[in-house]
Structure 1
C-alpha cells in the first residue's frame, strides 16, 4: 500500500462520517479514528524502518495543506485580519440555493452570528455562522469546491 492509497483512504473515511476504521493487510495495519476535532491515523508496519519513515509523513501533508491555500500577501496587511475557517469537511457553497444571492461578498459587513456560507456534508447543509464582526476582505474558496476541516474560508477585517 503506497502513500497515495493511504491518503485517499484517510480522505474517504473522513468524508464518510465513520468514527473508526481498521484495515489489516499482510504487512500493514492501519487504524483511522475521526472525531469532531481531528482525524487520527495510526499506521503500524512490520517492515524495515526505511519504509516506515515515508508512512509517518502521511499525516503531515494533511495538516499543512489547508495552510498552503492561504494566499501569499503582505504580512503587515494580514496581521490584523481574522480568518474564518471551516469547522467541517464538505462542499463549500456561497449561497443558500442556486437562484439566491451569495450570503456575503467582498466588502460585506458581518456581525457575530451572521451566516457566511453553507457546507454540505453527507447530504446535510450546515450553515456556517461568523464568530466575529467586521468586513469581508477576501473569499479564499471557490463556490462548490471541497473544503477540509480548519481550511481558511474568509479573511475578515475586524476594525
Structure 2
C-alpha cells in the first residue's frame, strides 16, 4: 500500500467517525485506531501463511462497533432473526444508483447470493450478497451512511 493510499484511508476514517479499521492482505496488515483527536497507524508485514482475501465476518461478532450497540439489545421475539453484517468499511448504498430502486426493502424475500446492497470502499463499489435465505425484517443503516467492518446492516427472518 502506498503512502498516498494510507493518507486517503486516514482521511476517510477521520471524516466518517470510524474508531478503528483493520485491513489485511497477502502483502501487509494495517491497523488504524483513533484514540483521541489524532489518528495512529500501525503497519506490519502479513504472516507468511497464505491468508484469505477477506476475513469471514462471523467470528468478530463480539467486537461490534459502538454505533451498532443500540441495535444489539433486541426483544426476545427477535431472537430467531439473523443479521447480515458489513464485510468491510465504506459507504452503504441501498441501490446501484440514485435512479434505481433499492436492492431489498422490508418484507422482501431474499435467497442466498442475492444482492442486498453496495458498499463503496476507496472508489470501488462492492456488491454485498445475502449469506442466507429469508425475509428482510429491518434495514439497520440509512442510505449513503458510512459503515464499519462487521456492522449489522439487515435483520433477516430465515423461516
TM-score between the two structures when normalised by the length of structure 1 = 0.64
Out of 32, 48, 53, the position equivalent to 2:42 is: 32
- Specify the SS of the correspondent of 1:113: coil
Q: 1:102 to 1:124 in 2, by over 3 A?
A: same
For 1:128-147, what aligned pairs fall within 5 Å after superposition? 128-147=128-147
Matched residues, number: 122
SS in structure 2 of the partner of residue 92 of structure 1: strand
Between the aligned partners of 1:33 and 1:114, the Cα distance in structure 2 is 35
2:88 is matched with: 88
Cα 1:12–1:103, aligned 2, differ >3 Å: closer, same or farther?
A: same
User: Separation in 1 of the partners of 2:22 and 2:155?
Assistant: 25
**How far 1:95 sits from its partner (Å)?**
0.3
Q: Which has the higher helix share?
A: 1
Root mean square deviation of aligned Cα: 3.5
The equivalent residue for 2:71 is: 70
Q: Which runs of 4+ in 1 moved over 3 A?
A: 10-22, 33-38
Matches within 5 A, 1:94-133: 94-133=94-133
Change over 3 Å in CA distance of 1:21–1:151 after alignment to 2:
closer
Structure 1: stretches of 5+ with no match in the other structure: 1-6, 23-29, 39-61
Task: Find the counterpart in structure 2 of residue 20 from structure 1.
Answer: 30
Q: Which structure 2 segments of 5+ residues have no match? A: 1-12, 33-39, 47-53, 57-62
The verdict on how the C-alpha distance between 1:33 and 1:151 changes in structure 2, with shifts beyond 3 A counting, is: farther
Whole-Å Cα distance in 2 between the matches of residues 79 and 21 of structure 1? 33
Assess if the C-alpha contact under 8 Å between 1:116 and 1:129 holds in 2. Answer: yes
Query: C-alpha displacement at 1:15, in angstroms?
Result: 8.9
* Equivalent pair of 2:132/2:158 in contact (CA under 8 Å): yes
Superposition TM-score, scaled by structure 2 size: 0.64
